[in-house]
Chains A and B, each alone.
Chain A
Amino acid sequence: MNGNISTLNAYDEATLRAFVLGCSAIGAGLAMIAGIGPGIGQGFAAGKGAEAVGRQPEARGTVVSTMLLGCAVAESTGIYGLVIALILLFANPLVGKINL
């Protein structure tokens, strides 16, 4: 940052904050793209689960519980994306970086 920054007034600081927050919101939105992966993965798992139940209806309980467990584990990548989005929205570490 050059010398001009230090002469910024309060109006400019507010503008800068708004800019960072806006970019963070966009980043949060982009982070939620991670939700695609678990969606596909869980759909795949559910399809396979339905196939397995169709093939062996007597093993339904085991198949369903295993599938739910797998789904929940596969969901974690999506949850990571959600957490990044939440951090950007609620605990934004970037706002603190604006030192004038």
Chain B
Amino acid sequence: MNEIDVYGIIHIFGQEIWITQTIVTTWVLMAILIIIAFLARLQLKKFSEKPSGVQNVIELVIESMDNFVISAMGEKYSYFANWFFGVFVFILISNLSGLLGFRPPTADYATTACLALSTFVLIHFMGILKQKGSYFKGYIEPIPIMLPMNIISEIATPISLSFRLFGNILGGSIIMGMVYSLPAIFRIAIPGVLHIYFDVFAGCIQTVIFVMLSMTFIKDKIGD
């Protein structure tokens, strides 16, 4: 139940690589997103000074993302919006893809781990870049004995980030799978309500939380 199917195996440099359901779903979602982005790009040419219709929606999306990043990280680091816009949109559409009958890519630990790993790398890259010496000093504060604790807490950050997203989405999809395996009489209206809670509500909230916590952690390490 609720397993990730393996659709095929390819060999690169003698290494077995599984083409899993997650990866295929990711490609489909990527294609959808890129097509939407392309259509929006075509609309951009028709943009006028007085926004209307589709232009309003595109502007709203981009501006609210921009404001979100600026409110969390400050005007100076608004270039992170380039990365987090993609991450946000990808996580959101992944979480919502359960509505279309896909197995959400975020219900595969590989996906959330890769996102959390990128956040982890960003955190420490920015920390070393901006804090320099005091970055390493931060590990032996307030007392040197705290060093192992600090290291564990740093490692716990991406794990908690990835497991939070993964657990929420996988838990939701497992419960949905269980509901769908019930007798037909229970499958009339109940799945709709559960979809709204598990996919729409939890999906949106977890997306916002993932991105916001990522930005907060990075901002914390940057200091100032």
Answer yes or no: do A and B interact. Answer: yes
Give, as a whole number of angstroms, the nearest-CB distance from A44 to chain B.
Answer: 18
A68 to B212, CA, bound (A): 12
Q: Is the CB of B163 within 8 A of A76?
A: yes
Say what secondary structure dominates the interface of chain B.
helix
Chain A hits for B9, CB < 8 A: none
A72 to B174, CA, bound (A): 19
Give, as a whole number of angstroms, the nearest-CB distance from B120 to chain A.
Answer: 16
Q: Is the CB of B164 within 8 A of A75?
A: yes
Q: Which of A45-60 contact B (CB under 8 A)?
A: none
Is A95 among interface residues, defined by CB-CB distance under 8 A? Answer: no
Can you list 25 A-B pairs, Cβ within 8 angstroms, ordered by A? Answer: A68-B205, A69-B208, A69-B209, A69-B212, A72-B164, A72-B205, A72-B209, A73-B209, A75-B164, A76-B164, A79-B163, A79-B164, A79-B167, A79-B168, A79-B171, A80-B160, A80-B163, A80-B167, A82-B167, A83-B166, A83-B167, A86-B167, A86-B170, A86-B171, A86-B174
Apart from A73-B213, A86-B167, list 6 A-B contacts with CB within 8 A. Answer: A72-B164, A75-B164, A79-B167, A80-B167, A82-B171, A83-B167
